[in-house]
Amino acid sequence: MPLYRDEAVVLRTVKLGEADRIVTLLTRDHGKVRAVAKGVRRTKSRFGGRLEPFMRSDLLIATGRSLDVVSQAASVGSYAGPIGADYDAFAAANVIAETADRVVAAEKEPAGRQYRLLVGALAALARHAHPSEAIALSYVMRALAMAGWSPRLDSCVVCGRGMAREGDLWLSMEAGGLMCASDHTPNSRRVSRAVVDRVSALLRGDWSAVDAGGGDAAIVADAARVVEEWSAYYLERPIRSLRWVDS
């Protein structure tokens, strides 16, 4: 079987037979890959813990007829340790991995920018650079934007006029962004300017603005709901692991 070498992050794993697993990987150069890891569930597996979720490893993979097979794995970044030791970081990593799996739908189509975004988010979680929930929500908005689903937050999607700094605004998932008071449709939802500003900061990865706005629980919670609704609409069903955000 022909071999290829690539760097990858493990997005999820499912059991296969007695001792094996199928691992879903986002790779740097080959996009999303599903591969069999033989014997990985044995205590003395040669892979050690290197094929667990959120691990970043350098892999040697054999091309198979249906599924590829992982032949060797060497650890690159040990994000999994610090992430697994912290409940919020672990929950956020689940959101990030599930989102990456859904946003990169096709297998074996290069997705280098998505890979770099994923690695950056997991590294930020592992070093607790910002609150875990904000890292996850920012990742979701940026991964969706990279896939072509970026909300228009500076002007009305109907009339194109810039949005007022004061007063309530409306956001339409279907129409892809903000609507002004005269154009808003019945299925748009009301949002405050502060919530729009927070969603915009998450989308831009503007961490000084995100961290500065972290103190207002109502704004933080409503911005999280906007991210949840936006992702559910464009991914066509909710991100299951995002539910923790509401609790």
Q: Which residues bind Zn ion (CB under 5 A)?
A: 156, 158-159, 180, 183
**Beta carbon of residue 165, minimum distance to Zn ion (angstroms, whole number):** 15
Rounded Cα distance between 139 and 136, Å, is 5
**Beta carbon of residue 20, minimum distance to Zn ion (angstroms, whole number):** 56
The candidate with the shortest Cα–Cα distance to 148, out of 105, 206, 87, is: 105
Place of tokens 């198979």: 64
Of the two residues 60 and 158, which places its CB atom closer to Zn ion in the complex? Answer: 158
**Beta carbon of residue 152, minimum distance to Zn ion (angstroms, whole number):** 11
Rounded Cα distance between 212 and 198, Å, is 10
Rounded Cα distance between 188 and 135, Å, is 26
Of the two residues 52 and 183, which places its CB atom closer to Zn ion in the complex? Answer: 183
42 backbone dihedrals φ, ψ, rounded to 5°: -75, 150
**Beta carbon of residue 179, minimum distance to Zn ion (angstroms, whole number):** 6
Of the two residues 105 and 159, which places its CB atom closer to Zn ion in the complex? Answer: 159
Q: Is 222 left (phi over 0), alpha (psi -120 to 50) or beta?
A: alpha
Of the two residues 95 and 163, which places its CB atom closer to Zn ion in the complex? Answer: 163
